[in-house]
Amino acid sequence: MKVFFLTRSSLPSRKRGQREIIILCLQPPGTRKSLDRLVDECLSRDYATTFRRPHVNDLKEFTSTSILYHFRQSQMGSLIGSDEQSQ
């Protein structure tokens, strides 16, 4: 199972929105979370209310795609580590 984590404790200033929610859900740095767990935690922090367009299909799948999109962005890419972890 792939897990994600913050790679450092010094974080850039962030605006309110999706990236802030993702970073809050990955605190403290080094805490490893699966994408499913991260999706659930982000949704519990009202992540879905930040979407500019309404989701079309499954909310969890849409949120998962959104989170992975942010991980690929240059600003967050250097903050997020990933690792394969056995179950």
Determine the Cα–Cα distance for residues 80 and 87; give it in Å rounded to an integer. Answer: 21
Determine the Cα–Cα distance for residues 14 and 71; give it in Å rounded to an integer. Answer: 15
CB 34 within 8 A of CB 2: yes
**What angle is formed at CA 26 by the lines to CA 21 and CA 82, rounded to 5 degrees?**
120
- The model carries a pTM of 0.83
- Give the pair of three-digit tokens for residue 24: 């809050």
- What does the domain layout of the chain look like in residue ranges? 2-84
Tens of pLDDT along the chain (87 residues)?
A: 899 998 887 776 667 789 899 999 999 988 999 999 999 999 999 998 888 877 767 899 999 999 999 888 766 777 888 888 765
Question: Of 66, 11, 70, whose CA–CA distance to 39 is shortest?
Answer: 66
Q: Which helix (H) or strand (E) holds 83?
A: strand 80-84
